Structure formats: C-alpha cells, structure tokens
Structure 1
Amino acid sequence: MPLVAAGCAPTVDHRPIGPLAGSNPLITTAFTADPAPLVVGDTVYLYTSHDKAAGKVLFAMDDWLAFSSKDLRHWQSLGPVMHETDFAWATDTKSAWAAQAVEKDGKFYFYAPVKHKEPDRGFAIGVGVSDNPAGPFVDARGSALVTNSMTTAGRDYDEDIDPTVFIDSDGTPWLMWGHFTCYLARLKPNMVELDGPITTIKLPNYTEGPWLFKRGDLYYLAYASIDEVAQGAERIAYATAPAITGPWSYRGLITGKTRNSYTIHPGIIEFKGQWYFFYHDALLSIGDLKGATGRRAVAVEYLYFNPDGTIRPVEQTDAGISVPPRRSDAAARRP
C-alpha cells in the first residue's frame, strides 16, 4: 500500500473519463444518420437510418434503428425497428434512407423511403405501423403510399425520399417529401392513404430532407439546401408560413455544412420547455472504419428563437448539449 507523507493529501483527478453525456456524437455504437426525434410523454424516441458502408461503397442502409432517452443525454438502444424487406414490394438494395415516425390515436406510424420492385421502379414511400414507439413496425398497407409514377414534377427515380409527417393542431395529418422538388399531400385520418392531390412547394435551393414543425401560430419548414456558396455541400435552411399550405417565406440558414460529409439532415423538437436541433456529421470512427458520407453520426444542439420567431443560427459543436442551455436568454423560452 503506498504511503502518503504526513500533512499531505493524495491528489485526486476529478476530470471526467471519456466524453460527457450529451456531447457529440450522441450514438457511438453504430453509424447513424438522418435523425428523426419523436416526443412521447416524458421520453424521446430517436429514429435513424443505419450506415453500413465499407470500402468504396457510398451508402449501404438496409434497416432503421431506434433509441430512447428521458434526458437526451443518456440513450438506450432499441435495435432495428424495421428493415427495408419488411415491405414485400421493396427491393433488397440497401436503400433504407431517411424516415420519420409519428403518433396518432395511440398508434405509431413510420414513413420510410425504399426502392420499389418493377414495374414501378424508383424510390417509393411506405408506411409501417406499431402499437409501441419502440417497434417493431410492420407494413400498414401491403403496398406503397407514394410511388414514382405518382410524382412527375421533378426528377425521375429518386425524388420520392425523405418523408416528414406533421399533424396539425386541428388533427389533420400532412405528408411532405421530395428530392429537389418538395411535395405536399394531406393524409386521411387513417394515416395510410392520401386525402387529396399532391402539390409542390417552391423553396429557394430546396434539395431534400424536409422537417415540419409549429411554434405558436407559426409553421416552420427546415430543409437541406445546396446553393453556389455551399459548393455542392448541403446546409440547413428554413422557411415560415401562416398555414402549412403556405405561402412559405424563406428565412435563411439554421446551420452550415456539416463536418466530413456533404449531406446533413434536420430533426427539430421541443422537449421539457427547450428546443433541440438534431443533425448528423461524419466524425465518428468505429474500429477501423472512419467517418465518411456513408458512415455518419447523429448529433444535437440547443435551438434558440429570436423574439420575432426567427431561428438563431446553430453552431455545430463537440460539446452538444453536455453543457447547460442559456436559460437566461429570453429568446429561448416559449412564445
């Protein structure tokens, strides 16, 4: 046993070992991307795509993962909640891209893009359903909700991706999606059928990854944007509107391009009185695999609003939400 000199106290190192809870990346056990947070009571469920790319493969994603937390700092893995082949009409091509879940009348609906088998080639949007936010989800329709043949305003083959679902205060559900063209359609109350025509929303430099939310009486639409300044990398822009059907007014950028990847994807929630901005970067390494566009990692930052409802620019940090929010900032409070 080591001896301590009389009158001298042993030195104690109080520095934390390893990253603090809430620092970025949030999930370090798998490569995750395209975060879609969902608040259910006192718990947040985080749904992500699952990057498995290796070698020269750019994207390899065949399932969706879920995690849960009661404080956004400590996360429990729930494992895969759905696989692309759970949609019998989908191809097995590792194309399980950005998805989102929503709650309606005690059930949970999972909207996901996958590639459709012939003859309706190209990406399509399916709907999974579960009685539990932790899944597993099963195909709610037995067929795609949106197919390539239903959308002809923009690109062929890969335009029906990145669905976001928003249930308005009057109970009306809406579906928005699209790659370079932003599509909007109302859903029927059963959540598995369209209820009216598919329309398009015009937004400056819209690329993909829409995310709808509401704060007070104002509707917000965040989305991935590519412009000349970004030089091929996505940034997160946003627009606001008095109604979900518009007119939408462009408000600027929420955050710039992410680190080590040209893609970025928003997920925005309010939880216990504080707003949060989820996204992904590509700084995580697991074993011999280093972060890359096809091996990304989910991250989170606090989100603050100005008194006029505009969003303050978000700085992407390593600390994330391991540090306290700016509680003294009146702009961070509810409207």
Structure 2
Amino acid sequence: MKFKTIFTCLVIFGMTNILQAQNPIISEIFTADPAPLVYKNTVYLYTGHDGATLEDTNYKMPDWYVFSSKDMVNWTNHGSKLSPATFSWATGEAYAAQCIERGGKFYWFVSTFHKNDDNSKGGAAIGVAVSNSPLGPFKDAIGKALIVNEMTTDMKHAWDDIDPTVFIDDDGQAYLFWGNGSCKWVKLKKNMIEVDGGISTFKPKNYIEGPWVYKRKNLYYLVYASAGTKPEMIEYCTATNIAGPWTYQGIIQENVTNSFTTHPGIVDFKGKSYFMYHNGSLPTGGSYRRSICIDQMYYNPDGTIQKIIQTKEGVKAVK
C-alpha cells in the first residue's frame, strides 16, 4: 500500500511538471525566428518552419507560419500563410521575417534567396508581402525584391541580406534593419514598400545576424545574435537616436539548448515584457529542428535589460 501511494505521488508530480512546462510553446511542428506583433488585444506570432529531417545537415525551411494568443500561454496555429513560392523572383528557404501593421494593412518583410535573372545575380534578398488581415491572405506587395544582394557591397558573401526587422518611430518614420556579418538600415517611405534614401551599414560589437529593433521610453534598442562565442548568444546596444551612435550594453541571453543559433523577438503585452527565442529542446530537435520559447523580460531603472532566465516553465497566462 505504501509503495502504491509513493508511486501515485510520483506520477502526479510528473504530470504536474509536464502541465507546468510551457516551453517550447509550440510542439506540433518545429518553429524558428519568432516575430511577435500585438494587434487588437491579441499577440500574433510570425515564425519560420523547420522542415529538416534528422538526417539533414542544413536548413530546410519551406514556409512561414502564424500563431496567435490572447494570454501568452494558449496558442492557436493558423497554419502556413506565406512561402518563397509567393514571390515570383524568389528561390530557396523561408528565413527570418517580421510583420508590422500600418494603416490597417499588414506588411510581412521576409528573407529568402533571389533567382539569378535580369534583376539580380542571386544571393539573399528581402521581399515584402501585404494583407488586409494579420492572418492573410498575403501577396507580394511589389512584384520584386525590396533589397537585393547588389545593393549592399560591404560584405562579400551572398547571404548578408537576411533577417529583416521593421520599426515605426513616434513621428511616423519607418525603418528597416537587417544583415548577416554587418547590420544595415534604411528609411522606408510611408507606403512601406519603397526605400527612402541610401542604405547605412555598421557593425555593433560581436554582431552576426538576427537584429530586432524597438523603442522604449525614448531609448532605441538593437538586440541581435552575436558571434562573440559559438554557439550564438543574444547581445544588445542602445541609442538615443535611431541613426546612432549605438552603445554596446552586453549579453542578455546565453547559449540555448541544443541549437547553434538563437533569434530574438521582443514584445510588450498587457503591461509585461516578453522575450521570445528558439532552441532545440523538443524530442528529436536540434540546430535544424528548432522550437520557439518565451520567458519574462525585465528592465533596470536605467533602461538596461536584465539577463534573460531561460526556463522550461515559460510564462504565466495573463488575463
């Protein structure tokens, strides 16, 4: 009898741990490169989709997915909403992307590769899709890439134009940041589908890829995957002007479980700040089979970011 009681307690304890473990937040498919968007009391999460098999030794990312939640814990899978096949000029994988709302329309900036044709010699490129709903349908907004490899020449490898992040400042000016090996940025016109002026390039300390740009209390934040050590970590800079200079602030996220890469996605929702990232912690997961997690994010009084504590429990539901 005593043995049965102990066994029952262990089973209940194990089930409780499973129920409390929220990370990764999506388990039915492998997801990467989180890009959250708050719209009408809902968080929409735009993600990459890792389709690699256990035997694959590189990324296979066929499309982009959308999930949504009203409490940061229960997520609805809305399925695949966009792929490189949407763009007639594109080929290759569905790399990191971010969607932003302006004027009731939703602009999904994506990175993939460009076909070798009259408009480009190939290499990584950034496109933009548009929809009247955060869930689509999305279509190619301009029928061509917004950024092609020939427009940036500071890095000599073909995959430097990836990982777009988009930000609209308080004065209405929109900015696009992106880049592997160096960080590049450009103003966008109000229509969100044309660049406005020249491209600027700089390299924050240890920068490698995956930038995420936002503003909080008159301070601009540039959060990114770093190459100071391998595997990647997340580091960041701040500035009082979107054009810089940027002040390096340090590491906020250490290496993640079972994945060479990590990628930030940051959002404020119902009075709390959240940090999204991916790791390889699901069964059969890894660097090419990643999964998105969420943990709480906290700021110090001076605006600096406290170290992210990676947990299996994740975050609690918000009302």
TM-score tier, shorter chain, comes to: over 0.9
CA distance in 2 between counterparts of 1:151 and 1:177 reads 11
CA distance in 1 between counterparts of 2:134 and 2:57 reads 31
More helix as a share of residues: 2
CA distance in 2 between counterparts of 1:24 and 1:323 reads 13
| Partner AA of 1:106 in structure 2 | G
Q: Say how many residue pairs are matched.
A: 305
Structure 1 unmatched ranges of 5 or more:
1-10, 325-335
Deviation at 1:62, TM superposition (A): 1.3
CA distance in 1 between counterparts of 2:224 and 2:141 reads 27
Mapping 1:46-85, distance limit 5 Å: 46-54=45-53, 55-85=55-85
Aligned to 2:3: none
Would you say the 8 A contact 1:21–1:74 is kept in 2? no
1:258 match: secondary structure: coil
**Residue among 239, 245, 248 paired with 2:246:** 248
| Partner AA of 2:288 in structure 1 | G
Aligned to 1:156: 157
Deviation at 1:18, TM superposition (A): 6.9
Would you say the 8 A contact 1:64–1:82 is kept in 2? yes
Aligned to 2:207: 206
Would you say the 8 A contact 1:129–1:138 is kept in 2? yes
Residues 295-324 of structure 1 show CA distances to partners (whole Å, capped at 9, x for unaligned) of: 000000000000111000011110111489
CA distance in 2 between counterparts of 1:167 and 1:115 reads 26
Aligned to 1:30: 29
Structure 2 unmatched ranges of 5 or more:
1-7
Residues 246-274 of structure 1 show CA distances to partners (whole Å, capped at 9, x for unaligned) of: 11000001111111011000000110110
Mapping 1:147-296, distance limit 5 Å: 147-227=148-228, 230=229, 232-285=230-283, 290-296=284-290
Query: What fraction of aligned residue pairs are identical, expressed as a percent?
Result: 49
Could you list the runs of 4 or more consecutive aligned residues of structure 1 that deviate by over 6 angstroms after TM superposition?
11-14
Q: 1:88 to 1:18 in 2, by over 3 A?
A: farther
Identify the range of structure 1 (313-322 vs 181-190) with the bigger mean alpha-carbon deviation.
Answer: 313-322
**Residue among 102, 105, 108 paired with 2:103:** 105
Would you say the 8 A contact 2:73–2:316 is kept in 1? yes
Aligned to 2:307: 313
Aligned to 2:4: none
Would you say the 8 A contact 1:20–1:322 is kept in 2? no
Q: Larger Cα Rg: Structure 1 or Structure 2?
A: 1
Aligned to 1:41: 40
Deviation at 1:136, TM superposition (A): 2.2
| Partner AA of 1:134 in structure 2 | L
Deviation at 1:21, TM superposition (A): 6.2
Would you say the 8 A contact 2:72–2:317 is kept in 1? no
Cα RMSD over matched residues? 1.7
CA distance in 1 between counterparts of 2:105 and 2:21 reads 29
More strand as a share of residues: 2
Per the normalisation by structure 1, the TM-score is 0.88
2:197 match: secondary structure: coil
2:196 match: secondary structure: coil
Aligned to 1:298: 292
Would you say the 8 A contact 1:89–1:143 is kept in 2? yes
Would you say the 8 A contact 1:101–1:110 is kept in 2? yes
Mapping 1:89-168, distance limit 5 Å: 89-91=89-91, 93=92, 95-119=93-117, 120=120, 121-168=122-169
Deviation at 1:22, TM superposition (A): 6.9
Aligned to 1:328: none
